[in-house]
Structure 1
Amino acid sequence: MIDLRKAVYYEYIDDGVVEIFDKYKWGLRRLGVNFSQELLETIVYCSRNLENTLMAFCSWVLWLKSRGEKPNSDILSETLINALKSEIGWIPYDYQKDFLQQNLDILESPQVSLWKTAEKELGASLRNRVIADISEEGELIFKVNVLLTDDEREKIERFKIYIDQLFL
């Protein structure tokens, strides 16, 4: 995933900006935001209300999606750029904070999300025995030479199909 310090050439990028971006980047990606160079630079140069703007934006997109709307990624990116460039940014209302709170899983990295999904689908014991690692992009890396029963093998194959369908 995007490393803000490597993606934007700038003498000094505030650690706080990087921390906030890292907190929201997975959610923004899942919501359909296209990380153009212009958007990344706007984030770096955002002088105030970065986290509030990102929180309000994520809540707004989640609300649109809950109504069945499917916003275009270019429009989302342009809207976010305009929100970040506005004088005060977007200030989240209490209902937006609550809405985002109810959907916090959208902000999880693929590693955390897949780890939890694997536990739910395979059980903690089998997951821990067969999964060696999960890459930052969400690729499962399975251990080799693990002795499995036929039922466990079948369960893992169903899980792989399930995961493939999630990321279509």
Structure 2
Amino acid sequence: VKRLAIHLGCDTDPRFLSVVPFKYPFFRVCWLRYIRPHYKGRLLYNSDIAYLFGTAPKPAAGQFLIPGYMEDTSSDGKQAEHPCPRKKAHVEWLVKWWSEIGEVILDPFLGSGTTAFCAKKLNRKCIGIEIEEKYCEISANRCRQMVMNLRV
């Protein structure tokens, strides 16, 4: 493992990050903003946070500097299939900027498969671990139904 990306909601207590091994140096924090926020009690839930650890991936064309901000402009308002959904645009951005083509992405909390979907889309492999069988099935179906871009 060369690097870690820890993707958290804005209401997640970051103190557990102290268990990240020191062999993975801290790289940066990324702000993953929602254009359409929602509420949890008095909390305006308008972003996620990603903590990046390890060595930066080799730069791809047009990707020399790793930014710390991404804004998802989608506002479809669909009901999530999982109690802790991650925005596809945010996960795709993290996979694009914090991994290299052909690498394996490990998601120990796969949920409905957003990471697997984005990894496949960006030519990465993915190993996902999920305790709930119904979410494993949702994830497999999402990846199975994915249409790959064909170059003509």
The alignment's TM-score, normalised by the length of structure 2, stands at 0.24
Task: Give the structure with the higher percent helix.
Answer: 1
The alignment's TM-score, normalised by the length of structure 1, stands at 0.22
Q: Which protein shows a greater Rg?
A: 1
